[in-house]
Structure 1
Amino acid sequence: MKLPILISVPHGGLSVPDFLIDRCLLSPEEILLDSDTWARELYDLKDLVEAYVDMDISRIVIDLNRNTNDLPPNNPDGIVKTIAVDGSPVWKNPEGLNSREIEFLIDNYYDPYHRRLEELSKDENIILGVDCHSMLDIGPTDSMNRPLFCISNRGNALGEMNINLQGEKITAPSRVLMKLKSLIEDAFSDIRVTDREFVAINSPFYGGYITKHQGSLGHIPWIQIEVNKCIYLPNNPSIKPTDDDLVVLRDFRNRLYKALCELSDYIRDGS
């Protein structure tokens, strides 16, 4: 029986549409590292869950985890990018894409993705949405190592309402988030760390636009999960994972699946 979960993987794609390729300054390797590297393999649970949605277009082209109003120049890391995560320019034109191109990308990639998530979240067989990402070990503006995992519901460190987010409702019950935390800690208990938190709640990420928007619709609870790339990514990753890499990715996927199995039972039991 498939898990009653909807998996979203918005940042694993590497493709650039044909009409933009000649204007993109980033190499395939740079696009790979700017993405949630190998996330489509890392979270490949499509045969094990009720619903799975991902995107093959790179986040440097269209970021599905941003609001449509989040645009450059106010935000060069908005729904379309003018700079990569390391600060390097994305396009030959420093101003980035024009309004017609942005509208095309929203109409053809962004809106269909969100409509699909909303449609699937109404399926009576689905009880939870999980938006899946990976994160850099040390962020562009961070000075400390990030946790191995970050799970988010737009709340505070206990998964409860965050007063700093202007009364915004959490997207999943705090008890569900705390349960997932303990299940991840059990599933990955052999990983030894001393210089960072193991599973952080709503830090360094509260949960992005997908979690916020889809969670606000109220069809199902939503959780964002971020896994630190240091867990699975070699120092010099290739565009496609090697056989050895796939072994690591498969092991991660199996452990996560086990945690999500137990979480599904927990939610169904209403414990």
Structure 2
Amino acid sequence: MDKVLSFHQGRLPLLISMPHAGLGLTDAVRDGLVDQARSLPDTDWHIPRLYDFARDLGASVVTAEYSRFVIDLNRPDDDKPLYAGATTGLYPATLFEGEPLFKDGLEPTGEQRKQYLEQIWRPYHDTIRNELERLREHFGYALLWDAHSIRSLIPHLFDGKLPDFNLGTFNGASCDPELAQRLEGVCAAAQGYSHVLNGRFKGGHITRHYGDPSNHIHAVQLELAQSTYMEEHAPYLYRQDLAQPTQAVLRALLQALLDWGRARYVQ
């Protein structure tokens, strides 16, 4: 495998995870994709650019290099479904719109997928686990922000237009409720944006697995509507005019996260 992730170690008790930003494909996946999948439409486009302020803020950042079409880093390794209804699995078989992802008979083999699990999925999760352990040991607590984005209109997955900011805390299990309330307050104060807490997106495997408030690890997923910062269809152009005000809200959310941690844990 080529480089499977990028990691920057920061100076604050915050790790930002970007599991669906990767564009890399293995030969087997590239050769098998249907034509409409070749533009990688289900990517969390431009997330590293949207969060380009995070390093200066002092956060640690881990970013996937391979596409979710190879293996989905936000699914459990046993591939148990996370959501009722339409969803995608550890090894996606369909596009978000429900069409097959691969041409008949051209899916990666079981042996190839085992390799993806060991050489792509596990290193990413090892990095998350090790960094959270380091942060908790050093600061006494750790904050995890799982950064995602998605098209605002996908009838196969959800009804109507998605809210702009979709916060997920696994129905309150992955972080302190006071923290979730504070983040909701930031979204409510952001004029011109809509938001929801634990709506269609309650947090995937990363949020659910690593969020452990009783052991001082607080995890939140943000599923951001792509209409807030980019063109939602190919060629998926980044829109600076849209992105700049959205970045201001993201900064406020991460600052609220950090401020809550200091108030809660630092005497």
Shorter chain as denominator, the TM-score bin is 0.7 to 0.9
The answer on 1:205 being equivalent to 2:214 is: no
Kept after mapping to 2: 8 A contact 1:172/1:223: yes
1:220 Cα deviation from its structure 2 partner:
1.3
Q: What is the aligned partner in structure 1 of residue 159 from structure 2?
A: 143
1:200 Cα deviation from its structure 2 partner:
0.7
The answer on 1:132 being equivalent to 2:147 is: yes
The answer on 1:180 being equivalent to 2:183 is: yes
1:82 Cα deviation from its structure 2 partner:
1.4
Mean CA deviation greater in 230-239 or 106-115: 230-239
1:83 Cα deviation from its structure 2 partner:
1.1
Q: Residues of 1 paired with 2:220 and 2:22: CA distance?
A: 21
Q: What is the aligned partner in structure 2 of residue 166 from structure 1?
A: none
1:84 Cα deviation from its structure 2 partner:
1.0
Kept after mapping to 2: 8 A contact 1:6/1:129: yes
Structure 1 residues 236 and 149: alpha-carbon distance in aligned structure 2, compared to 1, 3 A threshold: same
Between the two proteins, the alignment pairs up a number of residues equal to: 245
What TM-score do you get using the length of structure 1 for normalisation? Answer: 0.80
Kept after mapping to 2: 8 A contact 1:137/1:145: yes
Q: What is the aligned partner in structure 1 of residue 47 from structure 2?
A: 39
CA deviation profile, 1:200-232 (whole Å, cap 9, x unmatched): 110011111011111149451101111111211
1:28 Cα deviation from its structure 2 partner:
6.8
Amino acid paired to 2:200: P
Q: What is the aligned partner in structure 2 of residue 238 from structure 1?
A: 235
Q: Residues of 1 paired with 2:92 and 2:37: CA distance?
A: 16
Residue aligned with 1:65, SS? coil
Q: Residues of 2 paired with 1:214 and 1:246: CA distance?
A: 33
Structure 1 residues 148 and 95: alpha-carbon distance in aligned structure 2, compared to 1, 3 A threshold: same
Q: Residues of 2 paired with 1:135 and 1:121: CA distance?
A: 26
Residue aligned with 1:30, SS? coil
1:11 Cα deviation from its structure 2 partner:
0.6
The answer on 1:20 being equivalent to 2:20 is: no
Amino acid paired to 2:160: M
Q: Residues of 1 paired with 2:232 and 2:221: CA distance?
A: 26
Structure 1 residues 237 and 95: alpha-carbon distance in aligned structure 2, compared to 1, 3 A threshold: closer
Q: What are the ranges of 5 or more consecutive residues in structure 2 without an aligned counterpart?
A: 1-9
1:149 Cα deviation from its structure 2 partner:
1.0
The answer on 1:117 being equivalent to 2:128 is: yes
1:235 Cα deviation from its structure 2 partner:
5.0
Structure 1 residue runs of 4 or more that deviate by more than 6 Å after TM superposition: none
Q: Residues of 1 paired with 2:33 and 2:232: CA distance?
A: 25
CA deviation profile, 1:49-87 (whole Å, cap 9, x unmatched): 331001121111110011122179xx9821111111112
> Any residues of structure 2 matched to 1:53-92 within 5 Å, and which?
53-70=62-79, 77-92=88-103
Q: What is the aligned partner in structure 2 of residue 262 from structure 1?
A: 256
1:143 Cα deviation from its structure 2 partner:
2.6
Q: Residues of 2 paired with 1:183 and 1:269: CA distance?
A: 17
Amino acid paired to 2:96: V
Mean CA deviation greater in 9-18 or 231-240: 231-240
Q: Residues of 1 paired with 2:35 and 2:212: CA distance?
A: 35
1:182 Cα deviation from its structure 2 partner:
0.7
Q: What are the ranges of 5 or more consecutive residues in structure 1 without an aligned counterpart?
A: 160-169, 193-197
Kept after mapping to 1: 8 A contact 2:39/2:234: no
Q: What is the aligned partner in structure 1 of residue 5 from structure 2?
A: none
The answer on 1:171 being equivalent to 2:177 is: no
What TM-score do you get using the length of structure 2 for normalisation? Answer: 0.81
Kept after mapping to 2: 8 A contact 1:130/1:222: yes
Kept after mapping to 1: 8 A contact 2:182/2:256: no
Q: Residues of 1 paired with 2:103 and 2:72: CA distance?
A: 19
Amino acid paired to 1:252: T
